[in-house]
Structure 1
């Protein structure tokens, strides 16, 4: 299903000229060697993008590359690294370029064989260059010297002086590319993708661009050990995919995995490189669907128009309206394909795969944000999945996000199922570890509990409030509110403390209330007495005492010995609501939105 969908998408893009035709590929090329008709180097042209100072190459369509290994790996046709083309390379950490005559020799043998009968001026010039080039004499070529050492770590192509385009683009060169296609040497078999008898690929082209995988590329389909062979079949014959299908799905994946600001079909979430594409009735609808889906994965941080459009779509769907009823020019039936790929040594793991209409995905994202909804809202735009995951990672660093947790969360968001229970435990553990009861973390606790309740989990009995709910009698929620009130009483009495009760007791109070709250209650009585003596704080102290008594009445006569994981999540929600309600009231309704931010707890405690 995955390979079939990728091949179909390749065929659509190939028809539009957006991806290379069969036998070609797009590669990063740094330099072009300009030859005269005698095969002499007339100039070397830097192909880096002048508008982008960081760019050291440009993407060019060249004859297809392939995986290579061994002592004398084979060269590419009509282009390659300088280690093959010139016999010189710049190894990592080396101060000076190193000669590589063995690679240069295999490049020379291949091209002298294939270009032996060539009559095209460009191919003849290239053949003459290869015949006369000596790797050790590169220092005598001033055109190459001026680009050292950068050129010796780049791919190069060739041009003929006075002629447009590159030599590998000339019609005669294209004919040679077709003639020496790998398909001619492949064994016929039944392709699992097309269902037709076609030449079967022994090795599939490399997939490049998956974060964390090898720079040379990795594979989804790969058999490289004798232990993988069965029924006398080896390598690609174990999972027969035609040469054309293997080329198609790897080419389109490399296209999707391009990290380019103008190319918005790949998002990094945890260790997974998530690619997606749409299938719609026309090109405009396809681009609109892909743009909307990208926005749900990566909400615009500053584009107010895009953010408003996304919010309008999500709010409308949340109210039960279809996309085509929202005047957004969307075809809700447009199909979206989502593929999450993770690195696994030299192979790639499929973390998840989804195929649904954009209407279904938008509804699921809308439900996801509804589950996260909490007051006060700790974000200006809907938080991207990676932002949520980073909020519960150690030191809030992306590299510390658990790959398994990231994959489970995305499956829940995209599939509409339950969030993993480890999401709730991770949020609680981080709050207990660093004492930051941030809005994002609390929203995650609320989302897990809300979705469990909606999906009829028997362990969840009480409704999870979005904003402060003084009628809610869940013990965890009441204890969280009480803890916040006790902290406020301490602040009213002492005004400034280096470490509040939250810093000392939040973790134990949220897990074992019976052992902590009696101690905190005795301290609160002393703090209340002190606050009552301060004319500026007396009114606040009376209000806090009433709030405390109201909560205690709801709890009953005893504090529970322990709280389950779900109740610890409610504890955090109750604390967040009560804590921010005080600042909301103090600042006034009109200023609340400016004061309540995702960092309010850190800046006010």
Structure 2
């Protein structure tokens, strides 16, 4: 079962060897004090980590008590709520219950400092207590509200101000080096004793029984499963989230309370949660995409996990090509044949982690499914792969899961550009794509609609949109259509299919050629050095949506208008003679439509269903890409701009 797989991962990665500390936890701010508790510098020092504005990662002290209640603080490392009693969201007034919880958490943080001072006699804890006493319940001098009063600004040790999120703070006491106090070995040994005492008390008070994870009998069972997994993106709560929980009688049985409905030993519950916490911090094991996340690992081969992470995040052409030739060629040694692969698709609902699906299968089968995944995504041999600048490096790879899923999300304006709103992405979309890549399943046909809706929106609203750069959208369309294909429908090949009798695909091709005629006619007198002209509303902008749904209502009109474009091209000194090639191209496509009677005009489909609309879009894209590649190959230094 899933919890057992997570527990086994924790044991295999030695996460239970030192459970008093949580690894890979970013601490961004260090408050430096002298021996008397006076602040050194104008504010805290900012640590540098691998990720910008996140801080350096440490193994930090972690209490075994449940912190999701909002009243429990961690030892020496926490946010401004625990340390200063300040709300992390000052723009949202706290109700009486939340205010009471915040006060209890603040008291709990400093109670632990007082107990550490009493138990160890360490003067450095005295410095912390004097610092707290000097504040007198007020905010520290290095924190102030921003101009809107909705957030905090922190003044750094050098005097600069930076916005503060849910960052973690800790302390450094002078005379003991630049490292935080919790890094001191004497302090760490003290905390291990405290943590062990917490665990003994928990086990002493716990009921005993059979653990469903380990199968052990007569072991202390966890009343609640802690510590909660923290640091998860939205929609998870900032205070943490757990997998197992029972908050209503309908979820309970046989009179059991709390997590006794899923009897798990105290050790096993902490193990599987520590595993999930660890995995969520590793880029080679975790992929966040809007409200959905994928957690994955190879049981024995860490290198295999790294490879699959690259293939999901940033599948650059070289990596994919090597993988398709020999899956394990880049690894120091191939993974053992018996190795298994585990993947979990998750989201959250408040303090609950929701399991959307999970799998365990042979690693070799996953590799075969990945090979098929990239074969099915191959859209055209002449695809334009240049991408416009994108801030998120994970989105830069056209065949990365993040870029593919983004083709289904609603658009929003950001920095003057139309970009996908990942927060509005339905969690089922990433889940379907993960399964398609790992298990070889077919994503739902229903995904075609949001893909095409976003395409239509870009064509109309985004003046800088270049369809040839949108490889992700058409690759995903191809995969969905082919994996849901019936025997009597067309299979989309990774190149233009010029001899198919599929009317939807050919309608898309025809529109691409007509759009090319319009563009060439507008630039019939173009000269090197001049800007390339584009109509305010092109054939594609105005008619793509209607033509893809009801071709018969549009193409007769477009063919009549195209006569003017061909005439203008024929009179051009630059393009004279091209009109014959374009007209032949159009006639070759029209010949694929059967007329009602010989000598009559071709009959276009009246209505196209959703799958046919997808084939229409692919015909348009592949014809456009083929024509662009041909022009690029024939272009000279004095010719029109490449790709036009």
Q: TM-score range by the shorter chain?
A: 0.7 to 0.9
Deviation at residue 218 of structure 1 after TM alignment: 1.0
User: What is the CA–CA distance in structure 1 between the aligned matches of 2:246 and 2:456, rounded to whole Å?
Assistant: 46
How far residue 135 of structure 1 moved from its aligned partner, in angstroms, is 5.4
Q: Shift of the alpha carbon at 1:70?
A: 6.7
Distance 1:264 1:356 in 2: 18
Residues 472 and 596 of structure 1, relative CA distance in 2, 3 Å threshold: farther
Stretches of structure 1 lacking an aligned partner (at least 5 in a row): 281-285, 302-306, 318-322
SS of the aligned residue for 1:588 comes to helix
CA distance in 2, matches of 1:161, 1:542: 85
2-11 or 470-479: bigger deviation: 470-479
Counterpart-to-counterpart distance in 1, 2:171 and 2:117: 16
Query: Comparing both structures, which one devotes a greater share of its residues to helix?
Result: 1
Alignment-derived partner of residue 377 in structure 1: 383
TM-score, normalised by the number of residues in structure 2? 0.75
Cα 1:372–1:506 change in 2 (3 A) is: same
The equivalent of 1:448 in structure 2 is 480
2: distance between equivalents of 1:462 and 1:515?
23
Question: What residue is the counterpart of 1:22 in the other structure?
Answer: 19
CA drift of 1:500 comes to 2.1
Structure 1 residues 446, 111: CA separation in 2 closer, same or farther (over 3 Å shift)?
A: closer
Alignment correspondent of 2:318? 308
- 1:132-531 matched pairs, under 5 angstroms: 137-138=134-135, 154-156=168-170, 165-166=183-184, 169-181=187-199, 182-197=202-217, 198-204=219-225, 205-212=227-234, 213-258=236-281, 263-280=283-300, 286-299=301-314, 308-314=318-324, 316=325, 323=327, 329-331=333-335, 333=337, 334-375=339-380, 376-379=382-385, 383-395=399-411, 396-397=419-420, 398-435=422-459, 437=467, 438-453=470-485, 457-458=486-487, 460-495=488-523, 496=533, 497-531=535-569
Distance, in Å, in 2 between the alignment partners of 1:486 and 1:183 is 76
Q: 1:589/1:34 Cα in 2 relative to 1: closer, same or farther (>3 Å)? A: same
CA-CA distance at 1:476 after TM superposition: 1.3
Q: Supply the distance in 2 between the matched residues of 1:69 and 1:207 (Cα, whole angstroms).
A: 9
Query: Residues 447 and 505 from structure 1, CA distance in 2 versus in 1: closer, same or farther, beyond 3 angstroms?
Result: same
Gaps of 5+ in 2: 92-98, 145-153, 156-163, 387-396, 412-418, 460-464, 524-532, 596-602
Measure, in 2, the Cα distance between the counterparts of 1:524 and 1:134. Answer: 80
Offset, 1:440? 2.6
Q: Distance in 1 between matches of 2:186 and 2:255?
A: 39
From the superposition, tell whether residues 50 and 372 of structure 1 become closer, same or farther in structure 2 (CA, over 3 Å). Answer: closer
Give the Cα–Cα distance (whole angstroms) in 2 for the partners of residues 385 and 493 of structure 1: 39
> By how many angstroms is 1:486 displaced?
2.3
Give 1:271 deviation, angstroms. 2.0
Q: In 2, are the aligned partners of 1:35 and 1:43 still within 8 Å (CA)?
A: yes
Aligned partners of 1:25 and 1:65 also within 8 Å: no
Deviations 1:392-427 (A, max 9, x none): 433341334332222222222221011211222222
Q: 1:539 to 1:11 in 2, by over 3 A?
A: same
Distance verdict in 2 for CA 1:19–1:59, change over 3 Å = farther
- Give me the TM-score of the superposition, normalised by structure 1: 0.79
- Are the equivalent residues in 2 in contact too, given 1:295–1:310 (CA < 8 A)? no
Structure 1 position 217, deviation (Å): 0.7
Residues 159 and 227 (structure 1), Cα distance of their counterparts in 2 relative to 1, 3 Å cut:
farther
> Residues 542 and 356 from structure 1, CA distance in 2 versus in 1: closer, same or farther, beyond 3 angstroms?
same
Q: How many Å separate the matches in 2 of 1:481 and 1:236? A: 60
Q: Is the 8 A contact 1:80 1:157 kept in 2?
A: no
Match of 1:586 in 2: 631
Superposed, which structure 2 residues align to 1:58-69 within 5 Å? 58-68=57-67
Deviation at 1:299, TM superposition (A): 1.7
